[in-house]
Structure 1
């Protein structure tokens, strides 16, 4: 029960981070995975699964009124089930993706419930009743809290027995296919991210990083250091050009 409660609180904090607390990226699988692993007693597996799911979902961002798949609930339960069953990232992928899509519906329901509260708050604000405005604000926050807490809490409370039954029900060809696709999903995540950020101006730096990593065999840290140096030099040049223009 304690473990389920802590995981539920992590889910609630993740949802609140993305909705209320300014989106510090605490909600991302790369952060949630290790925390879940720490609670579940397998920190290393939490890092592995969290990093795998982050690569899959790195291009998913909620913009405006759009409601993307719930990567918080999917990431938390996918990581937890991978640890509970001892199966690894393949099981996490097999379960996290459909869980995220199902939890997306719950997020849409909460937004539907919260929408009338906004109009009520507007009426209270017009009449100068700011205490009621604050109360409605915190009521909306509470609904988002439940949105994160309940599915994560119940998902852990169900236990590994039900999860094992679900995994046994999934055909081997599906789990094997997801295991093989695990190497492809990171590329898909990068492609989704590049679709939003890629430009002709940035293309040379992307291909430079590719050459450094693939042909010269540099690890991620040296490539990141080179990228930081280039960014610093470009920033300094931009500042000097702006200074000369003024």
Structure 2
């Protein structure tokens, strides 16, 4: 019971802070899993799982009306079940995405319920009732926080033993398959993120990174530092060219004005 309450509170409080503080990204897996690990007494596993899930959910960001898989619930419950069952990141990787997709549907349901308040909000706006609008907005936020608390509470209270029994009865060959799949999921997350960025102008940089990893055997940190340096050099060079073009344009304009005079 206490564990279920703690997990539910972590999810609810993080969602509240995310919306009240202007989206400080506290619902990302790296934060969520770490906090879940702390409240469950295994911070190290929480941090490791959070870093791994962050790669999977890199592109899961809500933009406009699009509702992506719920990163908060997926990371939180995936990490909690992994720690409670003692199976580590393999279970977290296997459960996080399905749970996130299920929670996505619950979030859409809450959004539909909140849409019923719109007529009342319009009436408050017409009456210039600022306090009423603030209260209505907070009420909708608290409703979502309650949803997150109940999802975390019910899942841990009734699901941890079931999940533990399920994991213990998974055949070893399937567990190895889940481990392999878990290793591939971060690559899928990167692919989804890079898909809109893969253009003819950018592909040369991806090839450069591939060569540095595959043939030069450079570590990720070294490639990251080289990438930052390369971006800095290219950005400054482009700014210098733009500045030179601008200066030449001004010079030509001045000469034309002189001849016109």
| TM-score between the two structures when normalised by the length of structure 1 | 0.89
Partner of 2:121: 121
- The answer to whether the 8 Å contact 2:16/2:142 transfers is no
Partner of 2:52: 52
Any idea what the Cα deviations from partners look like across 1:91-142, whole Å, max 9, x if unmatched? 1122222211221121011101111223321221112222211111111111
Secondary structure of residue in 2 paired with 1:58: coil
Partner of 1:84: 84
- The answer to whether the 8 Å contact 2:94/2:182 transfers is no
**Structure 2: which 5+ residue stretches go unaligned?**
248-261
Any idea what the Cα deviations from partners look like across 1:56-107, whole Å, max 9, x if unmatched? 2222222211211112111111111111111112211222222112211210
Q: Counterparts in 2 of 1:206-245, with a 5 A limit? A: 206-244=206-244, 245=246
Any idea what the Cα deviations from partners look like across 1:128-182, whole Å, max 9, x if unmatched? 2222111111111111212322212333334742321333465665443222211
Partner of 1:165: 165
**Structure 1: which 5+ residue stretches go unaligned?**
none
Q: What value does the CA root-mean-square deviation take over the aligned residues? A: 2.2
Partner of 2:61: 61
User: Which protein has the larger Cα radius of gyration, Structure 1 or Structure 2?
Assistant: 2
- The answer to whether the 8 Å contact 2:36/2:46 transfers is yes
Distance of 1:30 and 1:207 partners within structure 2: 28
Distance of 1:105 and 1:175 partners within structure 2: 28
Shift of 1:194: 1.0
Secondary structure of residue in 2 paired with 1:199: coil
| TM-score between the two structures when normalised by the length of structure 2 | 0.84
Aligned pair count?
Answer: 246
Say yes or no: does 1:148 pair with 2:134.
no
- The answer to whether the 8 Å contact 2:73/2:152 transfers is yes
- The answer to whether the 8 Å contact 1:8/1:151 transfers is yes
